[in-house]
Chains A and B, each alone.
Chain A
Amino acid sequence: MNKVLDTIISKLYIAELFNYLNNCIDIVIGAFNTEALSMEFVWNTIAAFFTIAIFSFLIKDNTLYKIAESIVVGIAAGYFTILLLWTSFKPKFWDMIVVEGKWWYVIPGILGLLMYFRFNRKLNWLARYPLALYIGIGSGIAIPLMLQTFVIKQFKATMLPGNLHSWEGVNNTLIVIMVLAGLIYFFFSVPHKGIVGKTATFGIWVIMIGFGASFGYTVMARVSLLIGRIQFLLGNWLKLIE
């Protein structure tokens, strides 16, 4: 009796599986019947193949993953080289000199070429000239602006007037206390004993709360990337969801 039942069930499953495969083939053939849809389907299938190939690493390292990884790295390197050629070398060097006749654009070109002398042991000192110019100009522009953006403005925002009568005031007071406690934890010139020790312990709690918030956001970011791929696989590719 059991054997009979097993046979019926297995046959039913096989029939269902067969139907499902037939439906899938119909979808594929249907997709190829319309030219526009077929191209979309082909590209989405290629993208789906690479998505699955990358995810296969989670099971274990394998050839499929390595192929997908190599293709991504290769395409990215090739794409970036051509992009730089067309967005930097052609408009800023070739067109300026050859098309517009601005010969003085040869000077930055020569400076750029000097960078390659780093590969020559005897003449590598020549590479220092463009680097000196680049670092000099870069630092001159960046240091004052970065100091303002990331240090002075942040100092000001830490030292806002605090009180206990409003939420904003309480928030400002908490910021001052917590920043000081966090800084004391990193102050190693005094032994972490007594009041300093207690403040440093509070400081480590503050830092841990900060790390916790960052970790929570990081988890959310990683899950978002997984969700993005699933939206693509189930939606754009298989059309199972909207």
Chain B
Amino acid sequence: MSEHTKDEHAPQGEQIPQSEPAPSGGPTQQGPTRELDRREFVRLIAGLGISAAAAGWVWSAFLAHNDPAEEVNGHGEGPYWVMVIDLEACIGCERCVYACQATNDTDSEHRWNILLTDEETFGQPVFITRPCMHCEHAPCVEVCPVAATYHREDGLVMMDYQRCIGCRYCMVACPYGVRVFNWDDREDETDNEMVPTWGTPEINRRPRGVAEKCTFCSQRIDLAYETGLRPGYDRAVTPACVNICPTEARRFGDLNDPESPVSRAMKGRQAVVLRENLGTHPRVYYLLPEAEEGEEA
């Protein structure tokens, strides 16, 4: 042990009293039980203070995500965008899947919006189409190491493709499996078989090596903010999957507006969210089929 170690051993010696008597040689003496001189004491306190401030800052930033009472964009101020999917009306035609693939120019193997079929729960096939849930407490947003996925001001969960490093922790964290990855280079190819039958691409293909997911067609919602059109009412600013649905099983709009298509669709129906127990507060509500289970109409 050399003399340079004295700074670190001094505080230890102070905290853990040792049985040996302190050497009587004065403040420059070395040894485990030596007293601190003033300069060392000031340095120690300053070091502790700086560490505590840094730790406090990190801790408060950490907790900012965790307050259960604090919603990212609560019901009340501004629009509360939700999607409502009526499981009774859905016939499993997959048109929303195709329209999404065309509009957002996704790969057919890595779609943003997919169809899942439940054959058992209700005695007859129930078709569940699954976009991104745009959770208020989104696990993907919480885990992204570079904050490349984030809540924008209106609460939608967005991706910054220029920042994403492609670590795929968001894909591990997403409880709904909505996230897909750009395993391949697609930027220069024109191979989207859903174009032009089911729509035209409205956004650029994403670069190789980044994660992506459904955006609720955020480019259209942005257009709504610019033009004053209302998503859910005006087709130009409503997500492509909602527009194309032949049975009106999918609706989109502002839940804070009691007259919006989503508010009206939910009236009198039993709505569920997927994996509610996780506390993610999804913005996609599923309306349960009424007939078989005898729920109130």
* Pairing of A with B: no
